[in-house]
Amino acid sequence: MTERPHRSTARTDPRVEAETAPVRPALRVVHESEGIDLAAAEAAAGQFLNALGISTASESLRGTPGRMARAYAELFSPRPFDLTTFPNDEGYDELVLARRIPVRTVCEHHLLPIVGTAHVGYLPGARILGLSKLARVVEHFACRPQVQERLTKQVADWLQAHLEPKGVGVVIEAEHACMTLRGVQATGSSTMTSTLLGLLRSDARTRSEFLGLTGATS
C-alpha cells in the first residue's frame, strides 16, 4: 500500500490564502501489488477447471477461464482514494458511526466469498473524516485474500494511526461460504468480530453506546 500526499492544482486568490490556514494535503491511498497477468491467470484457470474434470470446450464454458481471471482480478484490486479530512472546528466530541458498510472479500484458505457488513465508528480528535472514506478504508483492506479477524483489526488500526481520533470501533458481521457451502455446511451462520481502540475500549459508557448502535449487543 502506498500512501503519499496529494495536493490540489487549483489556484485561489492570494488574499484569501493569506486569511486562511494552510490546507492540509489529502493522503493518497493506493494498494501496491506485484502486477496482474490476466493471460497467465486465464490459462491457469482453464487448467484448474480441466484438472477438476470440467471441460471448457463447450460454447457456454469456453469463456469461463477468462471470466474467472477478470473476476478475481477485480476482487483483488481496491480503488485508490484520497483520505479527505477536515478541521474539527466545532470541537465535536460524540460518536461518528457509519453502519452497514458492505463487505466483500474472499477467505484466504479456500478463496471462497466472505460477504457481510461492517460498522465503523470513531470519536473525533482534531480532525473529522469525510464519511465515504470509512467505506473506502473497508474496501481497501477487503480487496485481498483475508481472514475476518485480521480485516477487522486492520481497518481499526489504520484509522487510529492516520486520523488520530480519541477512539475507533469496528464491528464486522459476515457469512463465510467456506462454512456454508462446504465442510460443515452451516447454512445461515454468520461470524462477528470487533476491534475497539482508545476510549471506545477503555470507557464503558462509550463502548456500550457503540456496541448498542451496531447491534452487537442485541
Q: Which of 146, 148, 154, 160 is catalytic?
A: 148
In contact, 31 and 140? CB cutoff 8 Å = yes
Contacts of 127 (CB under 8 A, 6+ apart): 24, 85, 86, 87, 88, 163, 164
Strand-pairing partners, residue 193, are 172
Q: Which of 119, 139, 140, 176 is catalytic?
A: 176
Catalytic annotation present for 110: yes
Task: State the residue for C-alpha cell 479527505.
Answer: 84
Catalytic annotation present for 185: no
Q: Which of 6, 31, 110, 162 is catalytic?
A: 110
Catalytic annotation present for 140: no
- The Cα-based distances of 30 to 3, 74, 143 in angstroms read 6, 15, 12
Q: Which of 6, 164, 175, 178 is catalytic?
A: 178
Catalytic annotation present for 143: no
Q: Which of 3, 17, 74, 108 is catalytic?
A: 108
Catalytic annotation present for 109: yes
- The Cα-based distances of 98 to 134, 170, 179 in angstroms read 7, 10, 28
Q: Which of 6, 107, 162, 164 is catalytic?
A: 107
Q: Which of 17, 47, 74, 109 is catalytic?
A: 109
Contacts of 28 (CB under 8 A, 6+ apart): 2, 3, 4, 5, 6, 80, 81, 82, 83
Grid coordinates in use for 195?
Answer: 476491534
Catalytic annotation present for 108: yes
**Separation of alpha carbons 3 and 136, rounded Å:** 14
Catalytic annotation present for 107: yes
Catalytic residues: 107-110, 148, 176, 178
